[in-house]
Structure 1
Amino acid sequence: MKIRTIELTFHTLSHLHSTITMAPSKNVRTISQEAFDGLIKENMDDLDMDPTEALQDAIETLTLQGVDLSGIVTCIPGVTNANENPIIQSLDRLRELNSTTQFDNKDIDEVAESLDTFYDLCSTEGSGNASIGTRNEGLDLVISICSKIPVQCEGTLVSAFKAMALLIYDIQSTEAFRRCGGPKIIVDILTDSCQNINIWSSGFAVVAAAATGNELVKEAFMELKIDELLFKILRGITKTSIQSPYNAIRVLLTPDDGRVVASQVYGYARRFGKIGMAEALMGPLREGLRSPNLVSASIALKSVAVNDEICKSIADNGGIDVVLQCIDDSGVQNNDTAARACCSLLSKLAGSDANKSSIVQRGGMDRLVKLSSRFSEDSFVLQEIMSIVCILSLRSPDNAARAIEAGAGDMAIQAMQKFQNAHQMQKQSCLMIRNLAVRNAENRTILLGNGIEKIIRRAKENNEGCRAAAADALRDLGLDNYNS
């Protein structure tokens, strides 16, 4: 095979249209469809390659140069046409439909059918069709179509939202969503949708996808007061199985955009707290494991509970009792997903000193250790339990003593022996042991007497990520050679 090396450039070569650019958010080079087709044609015309060889050479050369070919229709120009690709044909049909300024009843049915066809093509696993659709301005097109669909046309809007969510998967697509006015279009539709659960479900899935990893999109949604819309909606859907509004809250309050130094999500969480979102999120938790939204609501509530004031307000509204009851029920029903989510939430609430006392007074230590016995084969649940005990014992020798009485030390020893390759759990166990021992000499004696030193040293030796935590635990157990 004749292999040629191409010069990567970051400006437009007007005579060849062979632009290779750097994606703005990651160290990945991209190329246009026209440039890709031009490279194949050059292979055939200048190097006398046959069409199949020319195509393979272009793919291999660009891949070796670090060019991302997702979204490129890899076909042979003149032999197979990119326009014959089903996803391109589907986009062309949607463009025809979108050429009208307003959809009539006949158009609506055809728009829904075409959107469903487009969605089916994009969702085909391993096809790369979603990338092709996005690369060929499919997201801009679907957003434009969505803005023309009357809010009473539920099925068509849902089809548009489903297609849109598939096309939003990286920073380029979230930026395209923002530039096309996507946030306002979505919020307006959700506001006008008159308690339509299907539209809310699919619409907030778009919100979650678009806000993931993009601080500017989060900001756009917050400027449109999506927090108030979510609050209004969530107060009325406690018993309805709909996950996406809770997922949207979690994403909006997650600082996941690596391009910004200081995220604004902490301030957004405070806004959620001020309008009463914490109380609205308590609804599914009060329903307990009967609620289909328990896990999603627990995760969302954890995202809102960013300061002492909000954590205390949750406790003042019965939150500690509710979460502890959910933890008890998750053990009885052997629901590990609910157990992890509720334990993670309780860890966040325990960050308030006032809440620590409340949790312990309500038998929290005993209930957590009891849960650990029910999930003794699940290192992830055990890790969450250890995290809570660690926080409850921080700077509190009385709570540390209560934890040992409840059996937290034995839990740690058994878990570390059983799950020696669960590195994160091993680290969390060392952190917990440190807090149990640092201010409580009696606990140190008990733990050392039960053989904890040998177990920690083994974790320190076998797990590089655990070494610092293990050394700290050995030091606060009173051992001099903790670094050896």
Structure 2
Amino acid sequence: MAQAWPKAKPKLTQEAFDEAVTTNIEDFDMSREEAITSAVEDHPIAVASQGLRDACSGQGGLTEALEALYSSLQASTVEAAAGTSGSSAAAAVPVSLSQEAYVIAHKGGAMQSLLEACKQLHNQTEQLLQVLRLLQLLLGWLETRDAFTEVQGVEVIHDVLKCETNGPEVKTAAAEVAEAAAKQVEEAKCRLVDSGVAVTLLSLLSDPSSPPPLLGAACGVLRAVTTADDERPPSSRAFVHARLLAGSQHGAIRVLLGVLRRLPAEQEPATVCKLLGTVRQIAANEEICREFTDDGGVVSCLQVLRGSAGRRDVVRSCLSALRQLAHSDGVKRLLAEAGAVGDAVRVTALHEGADDVAEAALGLLGNMVLRHPENATLCAEAGVPDMLVEVMRRHPGRAPVQRQACLLTRLMAARNPELRPGLLERGLEPLLRAAKAAHPNSCKDVGSAALRDLGLDNYND
């Protein structure tokens, strides 16, 4: 008969643990680490972690052990997500744990035991899903993420992704674990690419039968491995990963474009946003941007932008992806010919209170105008000067918006002297000076440059 592991007694037990830690620090002059180590033995997370280790060794039932660990972790949440009540195997896990809970679970070997459970739970979907969701929860702490690669976590997750008997829900959860492990951990990013996880996910993205949640989760991993967000190592391989995945051997840009074309943005906006975010990260150089453009990617992005103009999240994602692509001179020309300037003006007006949309639109237009004065003329004809005034007046406290407005003003005025009178007549000078004063760290340099290129002598005032 399988052993039934005891459920945690949430608040009293956690309060008792906290009190024990405080007592150890205050009465016995322990450091916080020593106090936690001393108090950890009887904590329900420690008991449940030991129970899971025993169950993985054949001493007890995995189902009961997983339920006990879920219950003990749920009792130590910092913030609860909707739908976290109860402890069924398929229930969503809490958003995050207290610091003590992460430490206790880590020291108790919970992550290693969960990875071992992954290996033992083939064809047991509900239990495997709970294991993967608990893993994702434990990876909310940097030290746990650092340890993930050391205990072969990437390899275990890769096996789950490759297993043909695992359905889309399990593979989605496995991809979400991989994305969580890669957050701010360069080693995990490198391992996910070097071990072939990223390529496996590209294969899943290429499969027309993959459902939207799996597509979004796969995109999340690809975006993570091409994002340099770990400041600890001296360098990042994010750019190398982008070039590798976009290369002819793996064809990430072609794969992503195929998904973009077959995925209806109006029905799956969240997945489309993840996809566009991944395009933005992988389009890391001129060659990749050109490939995306040559395959019709820019036109496809504009179609999504126009078809989902009322959705702020999709609009922001489209503008951000196009902004990155517009670093390429070829893309600048194509965007201008396709009417992107007018699109940017329209969606900014449609979402007049959205500073993120305004910032992304200004950034896109700035990249289009850079080194292309003919696009500055297009901007003037499409109403961009009025848009600049409106955006700067509407978002005076948003430094990113003000900075992009200063930059775009400068770019329009620098090589197009005929546009300067119109820009000044609309009242941009006092707005530029206000931006410099309100946001000196972000806008002093670009604001002064804009005033100078507008022909004003006192641009440093």
Q: What TM-score, normalized by structure 1, do the two folds share?
A: 0.80
| Corresponding residue of 2:408 | 432
Whether the 8 Å CA contact 2:246–2:288 is kept in 1: the answer is: yes
Distance 2:396 2:315 in 1: 22
Distance 1:447 1:380 in 2: 23
| Corresponding residue of 1:255 | 228
1:298 partner amino acid: L
| Corresponding residue of 1:280 | 255
Distance 2:413 2:27 in 1: 63
Deviates most, 469-478 or 164-173: 164-173
Whether the 8 Å CA contact 1:123–1:130 is kept in 2: the answer is: no
- Unmatched runs of 5 consecutive residues or more in structure 1: 1-36, 41-50
Distance 2:443 2:21 in 1: 52
Distance 2:139 2:223 in 1: 17
Task: Determine which of 71, 74, 79 is the counterpart of 1:120.
Answer: 74
Whether the 8 Å CA contact 1:152–1:193 is kept in 2: the answer is: no
Q: Does 1:246 align with 2:223?
A: no
Whether the 8 Å CA contact 1:115–1:159 is kept in 2: the answer is: no
Whether the 8 Å CA contact 2:316–2:356 is kept in 1: the answer is: yes
Equivalent pairs, count: 418
1:445-464 alignment to 2 at 5 Å? 445-464=421-440
Distance 2:164 2:255 in 1: 20
Taking a change above 3 Å as real, the CA distance of residues 59 and 444 of structure 1, as seen in their structure-2 partners, is: farther
Distance 2:315 2:329 in 1: 23
Whether the 8 Å CA contact 1:87–1:121 is kept in 2: the answer is: no
| Corresponding residue of 2:320 | 344
Distance 1:193 1:112 in 2: 24
Distance 1:52 1:451 in 2: 62
SS at match of 1:169: coil
| Corresponding residue of 1:158 | 129
1:35-54 alignment to 2 at 5 Å? 54=23
1:17-32 alignment to 2 at 5 Å? none
Q: Deviations over 1:403-454 (max 9, x none)?
A: 1110111101111112111111011110111111110011112101222111
Whether the 8 Å CA contact 2:286–2:327 is kept in 1: the answer is: yes
Taking a change above 3 Å as real, the CA distance of residues 483 and 247 of structure 1, as seen in their structure-2 partners, is: same
Q: Deviations over 1:126-174 (max 9, x none)?
A: 6442342123322222222223x24322222211111111111344212
Whether the 8 Å CA contact 2:160–2:166 is kept in 1: the answer is: no
Task: Determine which of 463, 466, 476 is the counterpart of 2:443.
Answer: 466
Cα shift at 1:229? 0.2
Taking a change above 3 Å as real, the CA distance of residues 121 and 199 of structure 1, as seen in their structure-2 partners, is: farther
Q: Does 1:57 align with 2:43?
A: no
Distance 1:188 1:211 in 2: 17
The alignment yields a C-alpha RMSD, in angstroms, of 2.6
Cα shift at 1:195? 5.7
Taking a change above 3 Å as real, the CA distance of residues 461 and 303 of structure 1, as seen in their structure-2 partners, is: same
SS at match of 1:179: coil
Deviates most, 121-130 or 252-261: 121-130
Cα shift at 1:291? 2.7
Task: Determine which of 193, 197, 215 is the counterpart of 1:226.
Answer: 197
| Corresponding residue of 1:145 | 117
Task: Determine which of 180, 190, 201 is the counterpart of 1:209.
Answer: 180
| Corresponding residue of 1:31 | none
| Corresponding residue of 2:45 | 87
Distance 1:285 1:59 in 2: 61
Taking a change above 3 Å as real, the CA distance of residues 270 and 158 of structure 1, as seen in their structure-2 partners, is: same
Distance 1:214 1:53 in 2: 32
Whether the 8 Å CA contact 2:123–2:166 is kept in 1: the answer is: no
Whether the 8 Å CA contact 1:213–1:257 is kept in 2: the answer is: yes
Distance 1:59 1:231 in 2: 55
Q: Deviations over 1:318-340 (max 9, x none)?
A: 21111111111232xx2111111
Taking a change above 3 Å as real, the CA distance of residues 326 and 351 of structure 1, as seen in their structure-2 partners, is: same
SS at match of 2:366: helix
Q: Deviations over 1:232-280 (max 9, x none)?
A: 1012256523332111111111111212222111111112112121122
Distance 2:168 2:277 in 1: 21
Q: Does 1:479 align with 2:456?
A: yes
Distance 2:153 2:338 in 1: 47
2:36 partner amino acid: I
- Unmatched runs of 5 consecutive residues or more in structure 2: 1-16, 80-96
Taking a change above 3 Å as real, the CA distance of residues 168 and 239 of structure 1, as seen in their structure-2 partners, is: closer
Cα shift at 1:56? 6.3
Cα shift at 1:111? 4.8
SS at match of 1:302: helix
1:290 partner amino acid: Q
Larger Rg belongs to: 1
Whether the 8 Å CA contact 1:122–1:166 is kept in 2: the answer is: no
Taking a change above 3 Å as real, the CA distance of residues 155 and 386 of structure 1, as seen in their structure-2 partners, is: same
Taking a change above 3 Å as real, the CA distance of residues 477 and 179 of structure 1, as seen in their structure-2 partners, is: same
Distance 1:267 1:52 in 2: 46
Whether the 8 Å CA contact 2:202–2:218 is kept in 1: the answer is: no
Task: Determine which of 277, 288, 299 is the counterpart of 1:310.
Answer: 288
